[in-house]
A = this chain, B = another copy of it.
Amino acid sequence: MKKATIKDVARVAQVSVASVSRALNRQGGVTAETVERIRAAARQLRYIPDNAARSLITRRTHTVGALLPDLYGEFFSELIRGIDLAARARGLQLLVSSSHDGLEDASAAMRAMLGRVDGMLILSPWVDQAFLEANLPGDLPTVLMNSPVEGGEHDVINIDNRGGAHAMTEHLLRKAGHPTVTFIAGPAGNYDSVQRELGYRQAMAEFAPKAAVDVVAGSFTEESGYHAGRELLARKQRPRAVFAANDMMAVGCLYAFKEAGLQVPQDIALAGFDDIPIARYLTPSLSTVSVHIAELGRNALERLAVQLDGHERSHTTDTLGCAVVIRHTCGAS
């Protein structure tokens, strides 16, 4: 019992393969009657068109690739979720590839996707213009997310990392009234992290010019946040307010603070970045910078779909705004 092909359907329905193709793709030019006969035959044979053969000739795979650095944590799950939702709505399949830790890996992952996808969504903090030129066919529709690559060949959707971090730092300093703020950074060289740190530094210069900028290292994981938190508490003078470059680190940090018996925000204030779903359910609930992660994914896919439909590349750069979300950890109502 082999898989039925279009020929089998044609034979059973007593028509030519061309008619079967036309009927099943509802292109018209076939009598309603014949269509029905063909439908019946297809059903009877459990006929499923072979996508490989189809896309060989149509040059369309109806599949988009998503290249991500990792899949760990709620940020990425929300992002994929947004992408997947939008893709489904558009009738597109989603090929994901994550878990690569550098340009080597990213390049291999990208190559493996080429020819399988009609376009690509790329979120990779290491990817730059040169890399893209070397690894992408010039005509493959692409949307970059949170990318340093700007004003060039590609469609880019960024988050206002700098602005969001600036606003949160300002809030901590001016509204919540903390004299200074300590920043827990993400992985070195990570674009998001760099931009957020920049926003922090600008706000510090602006609103706490006397205070020293204070940055400790992290890597965007809960664990690194926990360690950073412990490190901060071990100082002879513990900070009064801490701003973590993402929510996962804030989660780890919060744990460290409460483990040490500290009251948050009375003894020490805390804020994060991303507004992952769980942020509002922490106790105290986490003040953070809201990013609408799923929205970002949805947006990127829509943008890609436009390129796909229009058969032309585009190259706009959009920046999605961020909003400071005040909950309880930051010490201002």
Contacts and interface: CB of A to CB of B under 8 A. Distances in A.
B51 A115 contact: yes
A85 B111 contact: no
Copy number in the complex reads 2
Contacts of A116: 51-52, 63, 93
Nearest to A225: B281
A99 interface: yes
Interface string A1-37: 1010000000000000000000000000000000000
A137 B48 contact: yes
Given A73-B77, A77-B73, A115-B50, A63 B98 contact: no
A99 B92 CA distance: 13
Contacts of A277: 72-73, 222
B55 A281 contact: no
B84 A80 contact: no
A48 B93 contact: no
Interface residues of A, number: 58
Contacts of A56: 50, 52-53, 56
B99 A88 contact: yes
Nearest to A112: B93
A272 interface: no
Contacts of A283: 254-255, 258-259, 283
A198 interface: no
A96 interface: yes
A191 interface: no
B281 A252 contact: yes
Contacts of A222: 277-278, 281
A3 B49 contact: no
Q: Name the 5 nearest CB pairs between A and B, nearest first.
A: A77-B77, A71-B81, A51-B115, A258-B283, A52-B56
